[in-house]
Amino acid sequence: SQQGEEDPQALSIQEGENATMNCSYKTSINNLQWYRQNSGRGLVHLILIRSNEREKHSGRLRVTLDTSKKSSSLLITASRAADTASYFCATDTGRRALTFGSGTRLQVQP
Amino acid sequence: DAGVIQSPRHEVTEMGQEVTLRCKPISGHNSLFWYRQTMMRGLELLIYFNNNVPIDDSGMPEDRFSAKMPNASFSTLKIQPSEPRDSAVYFCASSFRGGINEQFFGPGTRLTVL
């Protein structure tokens, strides 16, 4: 399996609910990044968390990192229909190129 | 800033033809990446340049694929000859100092090989 795998593969929630996505990886990392991709568009960077950080916030986004479990989670609070997209985690293992997971498809129902 | 610029946005060609995809990274970024995205294989890194020098091309699928970066503001990805299995969306991304920082993606080129 790949470095950086998201779980679940797909998630459907109602507007206003929170959405949680998880990412697991296999090797040591320098940082972990989350990206969003709207249908037919390029990826957009959301947040970067370094290996010595445990939690980071950006607006309605909260990211946690547990290096002992080699896992990260992305929480989107008070979701909106506009949050509908695919979300990818990406790891920097020191190769200076990121390795992307397969993504979580989030559908927010209005 | 215009962001990462890719051209063309869509390309339809016939098997055996040469295809050239183009990318202009964000000014000041010294790392450039080419990715390929398909439903089956997800997002794959094809090649990575740092300061115009190819650092990691282990993701380039075959000799039919080649990439160049003649200067800091331009890169090409060429497929010759193209095959139907090359059909995918090809993204170019740039960053400052590789994976240490965030990558900025272009809008992608959707390639269809008939």
Taking an 8 Å cut-off on Cβ atoms, the answer to whether A97 and B107 are in contact is no
Q: Is residue A57 pLDDT above 50, yes or no?
A: yes
B4, B89, B92, B102: best mutation site toward chain A, by most A Cβ within 10 Å?
B102
pLDDT tens across B12-28, in order? Answer: 999 999 999 999 999 99
pLDDT tens across B26-61, in order? Answer: 999 999 999 999 988 889 999 999 999 999 898 898
Spatial distance between the Cα atoms of B90 and A22, rounded to a whole number of angstroms: 26
* Sign of the dihedral defined by the CA atoms of residues A70, A20, A9, A46, in that order: negative
Give A52: exposed, middle or buried? Use CB within 10 Å, 0-12, 13-18, 19+: exposed
Residues in chain B whose Cβ is within 8 Å of chain A: 4, 31, 33, 35, 42-43, 45, 48, 50, 55-56, 91, 93, 97-108
- Residue A1 has what pLDDT? 35
User: Residue holding tokens 């129902």?
Assistant: A109
Mean pLDDT, rounded, of chain A: 92
- Residue B1 has what pLDDT? 64
B2 pLDDT tier (thresholds 50, 70, 90): confident
- Residue A3 has what pLDDT? 59
Spatial distance between the Cα atoms of A32 and A82, rounded to a whole number of angstroms: 24
Q: How far is B108 from chain A (nearest CA, A)?
A: 6
Do A21 and A87 meet the contact criterion of CB atoms below 8 Å apart?
A: yes
For residues A72-93, give the mean pLDDT: 95
